[in-house]
């Protein structure tokens, strides 16, 4: 009986978590079938920066473990650079904090497409 109760608690936790209520906006898919999204309802503009969540759904588990990963991102649309401040996945407990460094997306990449969409739609 305890196992069934525990299983139901886990299922309902994932079904009704706050991230499941997000409005993920589909951006693109890469040649491997991985899909990229961002949470269009929680984009925050503060000064010259945009802050938002990105989601990557992998067709095959990344590193043999992760099926999806979310990243909290700071975006500077003026010179088109970004920082990822945290990454979480379904099987990781908690979040991983990253180095505080600016990055630039590769030209014609899905990441460039996603960042352009955030800059255009949330000015």
* Residuewise pLDDT in 10s, the chain (123 residues): 555 554 444 554 444 444 445 689 999 999 999 999 999 999 999 999 999 999 999 898 877 777 888 999 999 999 999 999 877 765 554 555 667 889 999 999 999 999 999 999 987
**CATH number of the domain bearing residue 28:** 2.40.128.710
- Measured CA to CA, the distance from residue 123 to residue 94 in angstroms comes to 31
* Rg of the chain over all Cα atoms, to the nearest angstrom: 16
Q: Residue 98's closest CA among 115, 81, 89, 85?
A: 85
Q: Is residue 71 part of a domain?
A: yes
35 falls within a domain: yes
The answer as to whether 7 is a domain residue is no
Q: Report yes or no on 4 lying in a domain.
A: no
Residue 1 lies in a domain: no
Give, in degrees to the nearest 5, the angle at Cα 50 between 87 and 74: 30
**Is 2 among the domain residues?**
no
Domain count, the chain: 1
pLDDT at 68: 87
Beta bridge partners of 81: 76
Residue 61 lies in domain: 23-121
Regarding pTM above 0.85, the answer is no
């Amino acid at each position: 009986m305890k196992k069934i109760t525990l299983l139901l608690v886990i299922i309902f936790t994932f079904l009704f978590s706050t991230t499941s209520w997000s409005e993920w906006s589909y951006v693109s898919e890469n040649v491997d079938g991985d899909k990229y999204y961002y949470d269009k309802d929680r984009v925050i503009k503060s000064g010259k920066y945009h802050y938002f969540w990105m989601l990557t759904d992998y067709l095959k588990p990344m590193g043999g473990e992760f099926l999806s990963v979310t990243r909290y991102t700071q975006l500077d649309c003026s010179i088109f650079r970004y920082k990822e401040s945290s990454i979480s996945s379904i099987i990781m407990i908690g979040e991983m904090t990253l180095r505080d460094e600016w990055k630039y997306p590769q030209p014609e990449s899905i990441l460039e497409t996603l960042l352009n969409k955030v800059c255009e739609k949330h000015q």
